[in-house]
Structure 1
C-alpha cells in the first residue's frame, strides 16, 4: 500500500483511469492486471473504503453492528441505516430504501408518468457489489445481444472473475422437491438450457461451512492486489472526463477528503459509475450522444411466498440460529429462466424463516417457506430516460438528474402474464402465504440498465460500440448494467461483467500493441495484497 490515510497524492498521469470500483470497474482492473501487467492503473471511487480488503461483500462481516456501520457508510450524504452510534435518517416520502443504498432525493417521477421512486445507488468501494444478492444467471433468447459472437466465452470468464458456483446449495433440504415441482410446471416445451435449474450464485462454501459472498474484492483478485501499478483512491470523485480532439485524455478528480481538485492524464478512461452516474459524468464532460441516458430499463418486479406442502421435516433441516430470512446452508435457490414466450425471470429462494407471520404454534422447518420473485423484461423505448440539468446540481455537485419513465401497454400485459406465472409456481409448490403477489415499487430491483447502451453500429440508438468504447470519443469506455442493450429480465451483473471483460481486453490489446507506457508515481490507497 502506498500513501496514507492522512495524506495522499494523485498521479499526474496513468495508462488507464477507471471511474468506479464496483464489479465492472474491478473487472477492468483485473483483466488489465492479467493482460497488460506493466500498465499503470488508477481506480477512483466517490465513496469510502468499508473493509480490508477493499470491496468485501458486507454479508461477510460477521459482527452485525460492524455490518450496519459499513452499510450506513455506503449511503451517500443522506444515510438512513440506524446504528448504535448514529441516529437514522428517515425519508419523509416513506419510499422503499434498502440498507447500504441511497435514493435519488427528487426528480424520480414526472407528472403523468410512472417514474422510478425506489431508484437507488451505493457510494462505497465495491459499489453495489458490496450489497448484491450474488445471483448470476445467464441471459437467454432476446436478453442476449445478437451482435456479440463471443458472448458465451465472455460469460465464462465473468463466472471466473465473480467466483460463480453453478449449484452451491444443491444438497439443501427440499431443494430437489422445489425444482422438481417447478420443472413439472414450466419445463414442457422449453429448450434444455431454459429449463428450471439451480440459480448460479457468486458464493462459495468454506470448509467450516460458512458462506463467503463475492464482492468486488473477489473480482479484483490477487492479480490486482499484487499489481504495484494498480492504485485505488477512495473518496475521490471524478467530476469530468477530459476530451481533446475527439479523444479522452484524462479526468478531473475532486478529493472529498480535503476538497482539492486534481487533473490526472490517461491514455484510456473507463467510466463504471452505475446506470445513473455514468451518463451523468459523460453529460458533465460534454460527451452527449443522442442515446445518452435513454432506453432506461428497470425490471418490474413482484414477489410471493408459499409453504411447501406434503413434505416431511428432515433431520438436516435444522433452524439457523440467526432466525432471519437470509440465504443460509438450509436454503436452496432455484431459477425459472426467461424465454421469448415467457418474457420474465423467476428467482425462487427457500427461506430460513417466513417473511410473513405464521398463525399457530407450528414453526415451519427452514427451507419449507419459499419466496418467489418474478422480474419482467421491459418494452424498451427511447423516451424512458434520465436527463440532466445544465444549471442545477445534485448533492455531489454534478448535473441534477431527472427521470422520465412510463410503463407501456405491452409492459402491463407482460406484468399480467407474470402474475399468472408466479401464481402457477406458487400453486405447484404449496400453500400461498397471503392472498396476492405483492408488486414492489418501481426501482426496487436495483437492476437499472440501458443508459449508455451498446450497439453494433453508430446509428444514434446506442452510446458505445461492441467493445464498450463510446462512439466518437476514442479511448473512452463505459461499463456497468447501463451498457446492456436488451430487455434483460434476469439479474444483470454476470452479463455486464462479461461486457466489461470484452472492453478491458480491447484496452489491453491496444496497450500491448503500443507499449510506450505513461510513467507516473501514484500515491494513494493501493489495492492491497
Structure 2
C-alpha cells in the first residue's frame, strides 16, 4: 500500500483487538474475504501468536513481562494475583491491567475503585478466566429471541472462542464437588440451570497441556491467512470520522513515532472496551444521550472452602502442607452454579493455588482440595450510573478523561446480602469453610463492565445502537463489547458479547452488499 504502517483507505476499520473485535475480523474474513480490513490496537504485541492468552506462556518470567507490557500507563504499579489480597484494602489491579487514576473512579457515589483495562494486542482476552456461560432467564436479550436467533448466535460465539466442557474431565474431585453443590442448591432447577461444568474457552493438547483461548483463537487461521487483513499495534485512534451522517474513517496517532494519520473507511467498528468505546465516540462528537449511561458492573462475594472427606493421594501428587503456594494441580476443575431469577447470582467454583488463610504445618491438604467460591450479582441498572468525559482533563493517552458516577441501590445491597447467605451455604456443602466469613470485593473487580453503548430494539433515546450494533446516529459505525449488552447479567459476559459481534459483522456485510 505504501511505506507507512497505515493504509490510506480500507473497507473496514476495527478499533480494538479483543475477542469482539477479533470476531468481526473472523466473520468478515470468512464471509466477505474481498473486503480490506485494518485492525488497530493502542497497546503492543505481547504474545506469539499475536493475541494469545498469557497463560499459554510457559516461562514465568516471559509471562510476567507480557503482563507488564499490557499495563499501559499503569505499568509498574502494584498488582495482585489472588482476590484475597484485596483484604489489605489497597487499590491494586490484576497483572496485565491498569486502573483508572485516583479521583476518576468515584466522581460521586460508590464509584468503581477497581475499574481497570488492558492495552495490548488481544485486549482483556489475553488475561481473562475464559469462562463462557450462557445467559439465562432475565439475563437474555428478549428482542433477539425470535426463532431461536440468540441461541444460534451463542453457538457461533462458542465456535469462535473454542468453548469446551471437557478440559477438566480428569479432575478427580470435580464430580464430587458438583454433587455436593447440587445437593445444596439444586432443588427446583431446570436442566439449563443445574450445577454443571463451567463452559470454558480452553482445550487440552495431545501432550496434556491446557491451551487458553485468546483473540488468536477467535481470529483463527482464516483471518491470519487473509491477505486483506492487517493488524497494526501501538496505534491510538483519536477520532471516528463522520461525513453526512455516515462513518468515513478514523484519525490515528502512531505511538511509536507520534505521527498522525488518517485512514478512510466506509465501515468502522469500535471494540475498545466498555470504558474506552464510549470515550472514543465522545471524542468524535458522537454524543447520543444514552452514551456512557446504564453503566453496570457485577458485585462479587467470595469465600474459600476445603473439600473434606477425601484422600490426599487421590489427587495424584504429594499433598501440600502449607498455604504458601506451589504448582497448580488440576484436581477440582471449574464448576458453575447458573443464574436464576429466584437466585439472581452466577456462581463459579474453582481450585485455588493456595489456601487464603494460613494452615498448620502438620495439616496435610490434598492438592486441588481448596476451592474458591465466587458469586456475581446482577446490578439494579439505572440511567444515572454512567461515565462522563472531560475535554479539559485528558487521560494518559491524551483522550477525554473518564469519570465514573456509580452507586449501589437498596436492591443491590439486598442482593449482596442474599449472596453472602448463599455462598455460606455453598461453602458448607463443599466441606470446611476457610476464614471467618465471606467478603465482598471492591466494586469494579469483576472487570465485567456493561451497558455504556447499550443495544436497544428501537431508537427511543435509551440506547446507543440497534439490534445489529450499528450506532443509531451514524450509519456504518458499529460498537462491540460488553458495553453493548442491554440486560442486567450476573454471568461472565464475553460469550454474549462475541455473539452480538457475530450478528453485527453479518449486518455490516449485508449493508455493504446492498449499497
TM class by shorter chain equals over 0.9
The whole-number CA distance in structure 2 between the counterparts of 1:330 and 1:427 is 19
* Structure 1 partner of 2:86: none
Pick the aligned partner of 1:24 from 14, 20, 26: 20
**1:478 Cα deviation after fit:** 0.2
CA distance in 1: counterparts of 2:503 and 2:61, whole angstroms: 39
Please give the alpha-carbon distance, in whole angstroms, between the structure 1 residues aligned to 2:468 and 2:514: 17
Aligned to 1:265: 264
The answer on whether the counterparts of 1:72 and 1:80 sit within 8 Å (CA) in structure 2 is yes
State the match for 1:468 in structure 2: 469
Shift of 1:315: 3.6
Q: Which one has a larger percent helix, Structure 1 or Structure 2?
A: 2
Alignment partner, residue 123 of structure 2: 127
The number of residues matched between the two structures is 501
What are the superposed Cα offsets for residues 252-281 of structure 1, whole Å, 9 maximum, x if unpaired? 011001001111110100000000000000
1:407 aligns with 2:403: no
* 1:451 CA displacement: 0.3
1:224-263 superposed matches below 5 A: 224-263=223-262
Preserved CA contact (<8 Å) 1:108 1:119: no
Q: Which moved more, 1:103-112 or 1:370-379?
A: 103-112
Q: Give the corresponding residue for 1:99.
A: 95
Q: Deviations over 1:308-355 (max 9, x none)?
A: 122223444325999858865323110000011111110001234323
Task: Tell whether the 8 Å contact from 1:448 to 1:481 is kept in structure 2 after alignment.
Answer: yes
User: 1:108 & 1:300 partners in 2: Cα distance?
Assistant: 19
Q: 1:45 aligns with which of 21, 41, 44?
A: 41
| Residues 111/99 of structure 1: CA separation in 2 closer, same or farther (3 Å cut) | closer
1:520: which partner in 2?
none
Give the CA deviation at 1:508. Answer: 1.8
Paired residues of 1:274 and 1:480 also in contact (CA < 8 A): yes
**One of 125, 134, 137 as aligned partner of 1:138:** 134
* SS of corresponding position for 2:462: coil
Tell me if structure 1 keeps the 8 A contact 2:8–2:264.
yes
Distance 1:497 1:405, change over 3 A: same
CA distance in 2, matches of 1:324, 1:38: 51
Q: Which residue of 1 aligns with 2:178?
A: 179
The two structures have a TM-score, normalised by structure 2, of 0.94
Alignment CA distance shift 1:326-1:423 (3 Å): farther
Residues 162 and 213, structure 2, Cα contact 8 Å, conserved in 1:
yes
- 1:434 has 2:430 as partner: no
Alignment of 1:56-205 (within 5 A): 56-80=52-76, 94-110=90-106, 113-149=109-145, 150-205=149-204
Post-superposition shift, 1:116? 0.4
Shift of 1:429: 1.1
CA pair 244-328 structure 1, distance change in 2 beyond 3 A: farther
The 1:82/1:385 distance shift into structure 2, 3 A limit, reads closer
SS in 2 for 1:13: coil
Structure 2 distance, partners of 1:477, 1:187, is 41
The secondary structure found in structure 2 opposite 1:14 is: coil
CA distance in 1, matches of 2:26, 2:53: 17
Residues 63-95 of structure 1, C-alpha deviation per residue, up to 9 Å, x if partnerless? 111111110000012302689xxxxxxxxx930
Q: Which residue of 2 aligns with 1:317?
A: 316
Instruction: Give the drift of 1:168.
Output: 1.7
2:365 maps to 1:351: no
Q: Which moved more, 1:312-321 or 1:486-495?
A: 312-321
Distance verdict in 2 for CA 1:501–1:98, change over 3 Å: same
Which residue of 1 is the match for residue 484 of structure 2?
A: 483
SS at 2:427's partner residue? helix
**Contact 1:325–1:353 under 8 Å retained in 2:** yes
1:10 and 1:264 in contact (8 A); partners too: yes
- How far did 1:184 drift? 1.0
Map 1:4-15 to 2 at 5 A: 8-15=4-11
Measured after TM superposition, the shift of residue 42 of structure 1 is 0.2
Distance of 1:275 and 1:325 partners within structure 2: 35
Q: Which residue of the partner structure matches residue 83 of structure 2?
A: none
1:506 aligns with 2:502: no
Contact 1:81-1:99 at 8 Å conserved across structures: no
Contact 2:298–2:377, Cα closer than 8 Å, also in 1: yes
Q: CA deviation at 1:97?
A: 1.0
1:434 match: secondary structure: strand
- Report the RMSD for the aligned CA atoms in angstroms: 1.9
Structure 2 residue runs without a partner (length 5+): 80-88
The CA deviation at 1:439 is 1.1
Task: Please say which of residues 346-355 and 223-232 is displaced more in the overlay.
Answer: 346-355
Contact 1:19-1:43 at 8 Å conserved across structures: yes
Which residue number in structure 2 is paired with residue 308 of structure 1? 307
Would you say the 8 A contact 1:21–1:125 is kept in 2? yes
Shift of 1:503: 0.3
Question: 1:398 corresponds to which residue?
Answer: 399
Structure 1 contact 318–330 (Cα < 8 Å) conserved: no
Structure 1, residues 421-474: CA drift from partner, whole Å, max 9, x if none? Answer: 101101111111001102111111111111001111111111100000001210
* Mapped partners of 1:377, 1:59: distance in 2: 28
Counterpart contact for 2:324–2:355, Cα < 8 Å:
no
CA 1:381–1:180 in 2, change beyond 3 Å: closer, same or farther? Answer: same
Q: Distance in 2 between matches of 1:179 and 1:283?
A: 46
The answer for the alignment partner of 1:294 in structure 2 is 293
Q: Closer, same or farther in 2 for the Cα pair 1:470/1:429, shift >3 Å?
A: same
Of 354-363 and 172-181, the range deviating more from structure 2: 354-363
Do the aligned residues in 2 keep the contact of 1:103 with 1:118 (CA within 8 Å)?
Answer: yes
CA contact (8 A) 1:325 1:355 kept: no
Deviation per residue, 1:154-204 (Å, 9 max, x gap): 100100100100232122011111100111111111111111000011011
Relative contact order: is structure 1 or structure 2 higher (C-alpha 8 Å, sep ≥ 6)? 1
